[in-house]
Amino acid sequence: MAFKVIALTALVAVAFARPQNTPSYGYGASTPSSAPAKYDFNYAVNDQPSGKNYGHQEARDGPNTQGSYFVLLPDGRLQRVTYTVNGDSGYVAEVVYEGEAQYPSTQRPYTPAPHYA
């Protein structure tokens, strides 16, 4: 009988501890303090000694996002991806390659990894 009283007391405590107004998250949330997301950013890296060349830009206004990014591939081509996201319609991307793939005619000599003692 004591176990039933403890179990019932625990169940009542859990029911009273449950929040009455669960917050809504994401775009269009019902809480007045949430505003639709709005931002714009971009960055680029072009480091000639290392051969690194890449960047990204994106803008969002509420449920709509548009952006693009690029990267210089090891074969010398530039890969560009342009994308949009309009609400719940999903991610739509277009991928374009610029330039011709270049493969060296001579192989680089093998250099073994350093050995540390």
Q: What are the distances in angstroms from CA 99 to CA 8, 75, 82, 105?
A: 72, 10, 17, 18
pLDDT at residue 20, as a whole number: 62
C-alpha 103/C-alpha 1 separation (Å) is 82
pTM exceeding 0.85: no
pLDDT at residue 31, as a whole number: 52
Q: Return the H-helix or E-strand segment holding 62.
A: none
What φ, ψ does residue 50 adopt, rounded to 5°? -90, -15
pLDDT at residue 94, as a whole number: 97
